């Protein structure tokens, strides 16, 4: 059974608030400056999504329609992120708090992608479809960053502990 547009918006806002809380807490608790910067960046982006979704929720509540959005491409900060990733790998243990936080964050991003892409696929309102597609794409950039970090950290622990079979 398909959820209403308002229910999906409420779910989306809740997902973003939980993500922001998670990233904010992880940023506060890490001892790695590079990890703190990544978690802070993620929290700030989740906050932007909360503001954006809250405006859409208010507009939908008033008019029963979604506002047209300027579809934004996620910021291409690949180079900056790769530099931070190298710093994170040097500063944290692959079996430590930050690595666990990165792994948990991947689950958050997967859930957001699932919700947003699902709604983008089933929405009939073009503005709603565009909005959820943009959010799904944005969350995919988060997922890609976190997945890359996680894979690099796994390889690091395998190397450090001679887990390679050859």
pLDDT at 25 (0 to 100): 96
Number of domains in the chain: 1
Residue 71 belongs to a domain: no
Chain segment 34-85, per-residue pLDDT in tens:
788 888 988 998 999 999 999 999 999 999 999 888 765 555 555 655 666 6
* Strand ranges inside 63-114, DSSP E: none
pLDDT: which is higher, 54 or 149: 54
Residue 108 belongs to a domain: yes
Average of per-residue pLDDT values in the chain:
83
pLDDT at 111 (0 to 100): 93
Q: Which domain holds residue 16?
A: 5-63+77-160
Distance (Å, rounded) from C-alpha 144 to C-alpha 103?
A: 12
pLDDT at 125 (0 to 100): 92
% residues pLDDT > 70 (the chain): 77
pTM value is: 0.80
Task: Examine the pLDDT at 164 and tell me if it is beyond 70.
Answer: no
Chain segment 118-139, per-residue pLDDT in tens:
999 999 999 999 999 999 998 8
Residue 125 belongs to a domain: yes
Mean pLDDT of 5-21: 94
Picking from 60, 33, 30, the residue whose alpha carbon sits closest to that of residue 132 is 60
Residue 166 belongs to a domain: no
The band of 1, judged by pLDDT with boundaries at 50, 70 and 90, is very low
Domain of 102, CATH number, reads 1.20.1260.10
Question: What are the residues whose beta carbons fall under 8 Å from the beta carbon of 164, sequence distance 6 or more?
Answer: 158
Long-range contacts of 37-43 (CB under 8 A, 24+ apart): 37/84, 38/81, 38/84, 38/88, 38/145, 38/149, 39/101, 42/105, 42/142, 43/19
The band of 9, judged by pLDDT with boundaries at 50, 70 and 90, is very high
Picking from 21, 4, 146, 127, the residue whose alpha carbon sits closest to that of residue 70 is 127
Residue 119 belongs to a domain: yes
Residue 49 belongs to a domain: yes
pLDDT at 32 (0 to 100): 82
pLDDT at 88 (0 to 100): 66
Residue 70 belongs to a domain: no
Residue 118 belongs to a domain: yes
């Amino acid at each position: 059974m398909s959820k209403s547009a308002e229910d999906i918006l409420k779910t989306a806002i809740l997902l973003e608030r939980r993500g922001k809380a998670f990233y904010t807490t992880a940023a506060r608790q890490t001892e790695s400056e590079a990890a703190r910067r990544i978690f802070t960046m993620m929290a700030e982006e989740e906050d932007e999504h909360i503001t954006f979704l809250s405006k859409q929720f208010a507009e939908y509540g008033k008019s029963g329609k979604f506002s047209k959005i300027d579809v934004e491409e996620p910021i291409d900060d690949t180079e900056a992120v790769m530099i931070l990733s190298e710093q994170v790998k040097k500063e944290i243990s692959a079996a430590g708090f930050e690595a666990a936080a990165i792994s948990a964050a991947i689950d958050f991003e997967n859930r957001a992608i699932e919700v947003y892409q699902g709604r983008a696929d089933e929405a009939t309102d073009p503005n709603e479809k565009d909005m959820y597609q943009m959010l799904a794409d944005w969350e995919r950039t988060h997922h890609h960053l976190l997945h890359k970090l996680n894979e690099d950290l796994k390889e690091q622990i395998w190397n450090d502990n001679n887990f390679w079979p050859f």
